[in-house]
Amino acid sequence: VNPTACCHHYVTFRFLLFYRYGIWPYGLFKKLGIPGPTPLPFFGTTLEYRKGIVDFDKNCFQKYGKIWGLYDGRQPVLAILDSTLIKTVLVKECYTTFTNRRIFGPTGMLKSAISIAEDEQWKKIRTVLSPTFTSGKLKEMFPIMAHYGKVLVRNVQKQVEKDEPIAVKDVFGAYSMDVITSTSFGVNIDSMNNPQDPFVKEVKKLVKFDIFSPLFILISVFPFLIPLLDMLNVNIFPNDALEFFTRSVTKIKEKRKRETRTDRVDFLQLMIDSQNLNISHEILTDIEILAQAIIFIFAGYETTSSILGYMVYSLATHPDVQQKVQEEIDSVLPNQAPLTYDALMKMEYVDMAVSETLRLFPFGGRIERVCKKDVEINGVTISKGTVVMIPPYLLHRIPEYWPEPEEFRPERFSKENKETMDPYMYLPFGAGPRNCIGMRFALLSIKVAIASLLQNFTFRPCKETPSKSLLLSCLCNISLRKQWLESKYCQTSNTKL
């Protein structure tokens, strides 16, 4: 036996095995008769995201229609834009077949967070947290939001009077940070004026993601490594930020145990109170409380500030809409009366403008559910382990449901139009039992900021403002409504939708 030939055959065999591993999942959609882009060995269709996820999805929709298959690394993903399929996945079969979201990698303690937890643990956490986001609880939290609405106005006014440029991302990021940290932990930061506060720095670390980082590429190609990475304490979230919040929340919890106050209404206190219930199956562990507190910051900070930036841009480039919004605010709150929860609930046109902003700029990315078993829905076969994905950015722009979809028209969401609207073609917060639990909170914080600002300011485009943009990189003027002092208002983030 020739040792060299044996070695050659062995290497060839190993290479073929490795190559087979790299292409093994990619025949699934072809076998099921589902069209889609051609995957590359190991990477699937992931490299197409370099052009932008939205552009990739848009090209697939134009080429393949309302259903197509793609591969994130080795993971089969079925994209759907059909209303009936969407309803079945998100609502009808949520508990039986499509309960869980996709886990992108090792998440450490955050595997207990409501947006990541699975099956029975998710149900328990959802049951405990749901009362936290009722209208009654939000009304109790409203004074905190209203306070930071006033802080937002003061911060903007200082910049306007100095005739200094305003970084929208910074201004709205500070507002979002202050609202979330105060309603989550009862911590008052004033992050606009204290940018070096540890809470501010660690939150910004927490929300930074790069899908082309070596770790994401590694787990995309070799997903079986995720449990090992978890054991090694390797995490897709920065460990130093997680450790900071672990220490902070533990410290706050211990301090509160020694207190006799009963008037706290923040998110953390409501979870601590749940531990005092005599219902064992509804008690959150310390780790679960910590995970919810951190994920609430992670989910709320970036999204709220981005939506506020897009809404201000939309109002600045549509002065007729802005005027209607201001007129409604002035009619509900004459003579710049203080903002109240009940007054905000009466502002129907403000609500319509927020809804239209969320249609054009849905902030949550793709909606995903993992299929637990082989199933057939309306003639479409979905295999066990497949991720079913809904891209809201495209869903909200299908012309047959949204005439002239690129136009900013709040009237789409009038009472009359909402009655005839297909609810599964508008999903800024998802739908069904696993929709965004913080939906009401997010909407309330956005409306507080907009109403507070438009009581005092008018947004106007300047010559640098593009007519349309997918980037928060436009310029417009902010004017004091009474004094008409002008200053450039700069949106500086380069984040693509």
Q: How far apart are CA 140 and CA 200, in angstroms?
A: 25
- The answer to whether 405 and 396 are in contact (CB under 8 A) is yes
Q: At residue 220, what are phi and psi to the nearest 5 degrees? A: -70, -40
CA distance 280 to 275: 9
* Residue 473, pLDDT score: 42
| 367-370, strands of its sheet edge to edge | 67-72, 75-80, 387-390, 367-370
Report H helices in 189-285. 198-206, 214-221, 226-231, 239-258, 267-274
Over the chain (497 residues), what is each successive 10-residue block's mean pLDDT?
Answer: 66 73 87 95 90 92 97 96 97 97 88 94 92 89 94 88 72 90 84 82 79 80 85 85 88 81 77 73 84 87 88 92 96 94 97 98 91 95 97 96 96 95 96 94 96 91 56 46 38 31
The hierarchical CATH code for the domain 108-365+420-490 is 1.10.630.10
Give the span between the Cα atoms of 325 and 351, in whole angstroms: 9
Pick from 212, 104, 496, 453: nearest CA to 312: 453
Strand partners, 459: 478
Give the Cβ contact number of residue 342 at 10 Å. Answer: 9
**pLDDT value of residue 313:** 87
Please, are residues 450 and 128 in contact by the beta-carbon 8 Å criterion? no
Classify residue 376 by burial, with Cβ atoms within 10 Å: 0-12, 13-18, 19+. exposed
Calpha distance 241→238 (Å, rounded)? 6
Q: What is the pLDDT of residues 333-372, one digit of tens each?
A: 998 899 999 999 999 999 999 999 999 999 878 999 999 9
Confidence (pLDDT) at 467: 57
Cβ atoms 395, 88 nearer than 8 A: no
Q: Which residues contact 454 (CB under 8 A, 6 or more apart)?
A: 315, 322, 325, 326, 329
Cα separation, 489 vs 481, in Å, equals 15
Q: Which residues are annotated as a binding site for heme?
A: 436
Which pLDDT score, from 0 to 100, does residue 420 have? 92
Q: Report pLDDT for 456.
A: 92
pLDDT at 24: 83
- pLDDT score for 10: 64
Return the pLDDT at 462: 59
**What are the binding residues?**
436
Taking residue 245's Cβ as centre, other Cβ atoms within 10 Å add up to 23
Q: What pLDDT, on a 0 to 100 scale, did the predictor assign at position 464?
A: 55
